[in-house]
Amino acid sequence: MEFCKAIEQFLDYLQFVKNVSSHTLRNYRIDLLSLEKFAFQEISKETLSLEALDRMTIRRYLAYLHGQKKALRTVIRKMSTYRSFFSFLMKKNILSENPLEEIDSPKKRRTLPVTLSYDQLQLFFAAPDLSTCLGVRDRAMMELFYSSALRLSELVQLNKNDIDVIRKSVRVRGKGNKERIVPVTHTAIEWIGTYLHHPERKSNEGKKDVPIFLNHRGQRITARSIDRHFQKYLKQSGLVDKITPHVIRHTIATHWLEKGMDLKTIQMLLGHSSLGTTTIYTQVSMKLKREVYDKTHPRA
């Protein structure tokens, strides 16, 4: 089979069977086309067959990425894409041998999450101009991030019918399109309500899935737009630390831990598939370390 046809078959599987997000689908396509382009240049044929893509070609491709000084996380992501791709081809009996079988992915250096103190968070939350509709929107987003530890992609996908004001909860579509119900604070509910009823908020009530957060044109806000606004508020707040929606997610997870919430509950709220991913927050909190140290050390 031609490599290009195998790519399209795999992407169709991801879209229609696995129901991955458009963002994930785009990244898979970019990674696979990158490998295809390199292989074409290496093999120099009019059409590229899957069989021609052997282990040595992939090793040379990895060396090429290293020579291009690609970030480690980029290389790891690409390798993850290729493993999924070739695994799919093996399951479908399109390939009889996996060219990645003896190739190890580079190891990711595990860095501790960046978190904020509560005072830093308050300073950052005070940055939006609340006299404008967009300022109220951004404050509502900040409160929701801190309330429920949502990922950026999860917040962008939220529709009005995902919010349950009575039960103070939100239905979230996480990675792999897995749904979970997450509690929302009374403060976040109030800010969302203020934004939704703001007289300057552009209405699109006639649509089937009405987004909660809109851009200035009345369309669903994008992740890139939120990141851009966060950078603006970071400069206004005078804080030097990098603040992104994911930093707020790390922050509330750490605060939950410091307040005594158990790791299993935090795992469920964050939508982590593995408890091991959640345990990293035990390494972040100096307050928690100090408390454990004082309780257990004979001379503390």
Please state, rounded to an integer, the average pLDDT across all residues of the chain: 88
Q: Give the mean pLDDT of 281-290.
A: 71
pLDDT at 190 over 80: yes
Q: Going by DSSP bridges, is the β-strand pair 169-173/179-183 parallel, antiparallel, or unpaired? A: antiparallel
Q: How far apart are CA 202 and CA 206, in angstroms?
A: 12
Catalytic residue numbers? 151, 175, 246, 249, 272, 281
Q: Give the mean pLDDT of 7-20.
A: 92
First to last CA, the chain: 68
Q: Give the mean pLDDT of 143-151.
A: 95
User: Residues of 132-147 as b/e, b for ≥16 C-beta within 10 angstroms?
Assistant: ebbbbbbbbbbbbbbb
pLDDT at 171 over 90: yes
The model's confidence at residue 279, banded by pLDDT at 50, 70 and 90, is confident
User: Residues of 236-264 as b/e, b for ≥16 C-beta within 10 angstroms?
Assistant: ebebeeebbbbbbbbbbbbbbbeeeeebe
How many other CB atoms sit within 10 Å of the CB of residue 290? Answer: 11
Contact 8, 20 (CB under 8 A): no
pLDDT at 288 over 70: no
pLDDT of residue 230: 94
Name the nearest CA neighbour of 192 among 172, 216, 219, 165: 165
pLDDT at 110 over 70: no
Which range (35-44, 90-99, 129-138, 189-198) has the least confidence? 35-44
pLDDT above 90 as % of the chain: 57
The model's confidence at residue 1, banded by pLDDT at 50, 70 and 90, is confident
Contact 200, 146 (CB under 8 A): no
pLDDT at 44 over 90: no
Q: How far apart are CA 214 and CA 222, in angstroms?
A: 9
More confident position, 249 or 40: 249
DSSP lists the bridge partners of residue 171 as: 181
Q: How far apart are CA 183 and CA 124, in angstroms?
A: 23
pLDDT of residue 102: 83
pLDDT of residue 49: 81
Instruction: Answer positive or negative: Cα dihedral of 106, 100, 86, 18.
Output: negative
pLDDT of residue 300: 58
Q: How far apart are CA 167 and CA 215, in angstroms?
A: 27
Contact 185, 118 (CB under 8 A): no
Q: How far apart are CA 39 and CA 53, in angstroms?
A: 7
Q: In what order do the strands lie in the sheet with 163-164?
A: 163-164, 169-173, 179-183
pLDDT at 109 over 90: no
pLDDT at 229 over 80: yes
Q: Going by DSSP bridges, is the β-strand pair 179-183/163-164 parallel, antiparallel, or unpaired? A: unpaired
Write the DSSP symbol of residue 203: P
pLDDT at 248 over 90: yes
pTM surpassing 0.75?
no
More confident position, 137 or 274: 137
Q: Give the mean pLDDT of 138-162.
A: 95
pLDDT above 70 as % of the chain: 92
More confident position, 46 or 244: 244
More confident position, 291 or 166: 166
> Cα 268 from chain centroid?
16
Query: What is the full DSSP assignment across 142-191?
Result: HHHHHHH---HHHHHH-BGGGEETTTTEEEEE-GGG-EEEEE--HHHHHH
Name the nearest CA neighbour of 122 among 146, 141, 148: 146
Q: Where are the beta strands (DSSP E) in the chain?
A: 163-164, 169-173, 179-183
Name the nearest CA neighbour of 138 among 78, 200, 214: 214
The model's confidence at residue 28, banded by pLDDT at 50, 70 and 90, is very high
Name the nearest CA neighbour of 146 among 174, 115, 177, 113: 115
Which range (21-35, 147-161, 184-198, 267-281) has the least confidence? 267-281
